Structure 1
């Protein structure tokens, strides 16, 4: 999805693909297939590149330092990116910055978990995403699996309080090396089995002061941590003695699923602003194009009769000519994100219905409806 604005900007991209024919490899011809965990491969693919950036946070921190030492411009740099790579490092940084966050502790044994208290959430410090590496623990027996997983992986384990939140929010900002920054509207997100399912931009009914607080928090985190590119600050909206408040859940330093709405709903998408930021170009406006934009993910279905995703186009596009569909060229697997739809307009209920119907049609959830 970064390839589209890169073409418009005339910016050539080179890709390190994890396998032949993956999504990005279908649209970026200058590519090398290899392992991002191998420094020699990283050195080869970055040769001659003005800037290196990422679509996930899992490149080893020590390799990024090695690239920087070799004169490669790594954006975001390893000193910033480590806060999205390691959840414990992130929690420590949020504490130093005074950012509101859930109660947390590093745990290494069943006794540590019991001392922290039940119920709680256990997370591996590195490597988890989309709900993987995260467990809700309500009794001592529930802690056995996460403790074993952390030991097998050689990573630390983080315990967090199980937050009683109103809903989940996301504050996205772009920041360039020269310090220019732009904040997108704060959005409301809905998770399904640990995967982002739906995003509403802007978050309906969000108190303007709290929205401003969330944006200022994200801008402050980006500045203090030296982030270059997109930063998503995932938040819990909570009640604090009857007053709405926010807690930092997680950070992501890349274009993020909660910002996919911006492809069609903002003047400048998160993908274009990420490119502009890492190249230190003036940032584009994050302002919305319409009053409401809704993004709904298309997840692979367990149904065997769904067929090819492209089969959904005739109905979805004929029913809603304003609909925007983005398919990723991925093999269908149950629960896998294989695309998303964006709908926008002036009435939220209408926009929600259009986006949900289209995503449901592509998933094969709507039977033989021929409306």
Structure 2
């Protein structure tokens, strides 16, 4: 019997875990480089090894005999990516992934493309930060160019002293604080041969810098704004040569005819804002990512039922050390439409432990049901361990 198509993935969190579900359906062998044998992905993936993404020896063993290498996070050193690309197809390629790894490079490239972004500056010291603040006004949003995620490496600074401890590790990215009305995410997939399929633009809610709730299609914005968000996402994918799933997080500013969007962040992998696609779209982001990196025909990104909205609510922390023990209460609270996805993670304050999706014609009803289900999994509304 010949060897099945093998997709090597770096990362052992919930994203690779959900990729495994789609790989099973497609008959693809998913081979994962995980951080822990009993981690989220390690629990469900047979073909795995424990190692660090910065170890060439670990990555070399991972890609041996694989058809493609992909990722569930961007924290892979560029030299490792370049070396791997000499042995296997790397998707997304290093020349694209660098713009998700380095926020300064991303801002510079998007600016050259004419993509609307917040006012920004590279600041190498406190004096440069003070000068930028004097020019655009305080507060500022200050970010570490590399390594940040889920609110880590991001600070709202009302004075340069607020990030005094950040100096000494290289330049920082300073951005004007955006008085946004809401946030949206454009999600799409692109193949190496250039085919693109987008999902409906979704509206998102952040809590403590972490994605908390997502509604698709987006609510509270003009159809023209959603179309523009989708266009910008597809333009970025094409211009940067992104392959696999791309998520573009955006701010919505202005009202009525003055409503417009500013690009905030890029993620070149399945993304939290796309988890709703598992239950709400014809093709989930995880199946589509596998199709895309293998350059297979893409599936439809349309809603399964165009008359409905899909609402996803994250389970962030829990009062219980085992949320699965609350499934009976959670499923009763969420109703028959509630779909629970738990990640098998050890409970820690504010940690992403799972999500609940509800699809309904009324987005408000779907949101209420999803919230009720999550609250039951969390152990009640009085949890104090949330960000």
What is the TM-score normalised by the length of structure 1?
0.94
Match in the other structure for 1:136: 156
> Is the contact made by 1:113 and 1:143 (CA closer than 8 Å) also made in structure 2?
no
TM superposition shift of 1:143 = 2.6
The farther-off stretch of 309-318 and 116-125 is: 309-318
Match in the other structure for 1:317: 331
Q: How big is each residue's C-alpha offset from its partner over 1:90-145, in whole Å with a ceiling of 9 and x where there is no partner?
A: 00110111000000000011111110012101100000000000010001321313
Q: Does the alignment pair 1:14 with 2:31?
A: yes
> Is the contact made by 1:76 and 1:278 (CA closer than 8 Å) also made in structure 2?
yes
1-side partners of 2:362 and 2:85: how far apart?
48
The farther-off stretch of 356-365 and 168-177 is: 356-365
TM superposition shift of 1:241 = 9.8
> Is the contact made by 1:100 and 1:246 (CA closer than 8 Å) also made in structure 2?
yes
1-side partners of 2:282 and 2:326: how far apart?
28
- Which of 91, 96, 102 aligns to 1:80? It is 96
CA RMSD of aligned residues (A): 1.3
Q: Does the alignment pair 1:145 with 2:162?
A: no
Match in the other structure for 1:345: 360
1-side partners of 2:32 and 2:177: how far apart?
39
SS at match of 1:26: coil
Q: How big is each residue's C-alpha offset from its partner over 1:145-183, in whole Å with a ceiling of 9 and x where there is no partner?
A: 333xxx2xx343100000010111100010001111011
SS at match of 1:171: strand
SS at match of 2:117: coil
SS at match of 1:14: strand
1-side partners of 2:342 and 2:242: how far apart?
29
> Is the contact made by 1:122 and 1:146 (CA closer than 8 Å) also made in structure 2?
no
> Is the contact made by 1:102 and 1:161 (CA closer than 8 Å) also made in structure 2?
yes
> Is the contact made by 1:88 and 1:158 (CA closer than 8 Å) also made in structure 2?
yes
Change (3 A) 1:9 1:208: same
1-side partners of 2:91 and 2:109: how far apart?
19
Match in the other structure for 1:57: 74
Give the gaps of 5 or more residues in structure 1.
none
Q: Does the alignment pair 1:277 with 2:292?
A: yes
- Which of 15, 18, 21 aligns to 1:4? It is 21
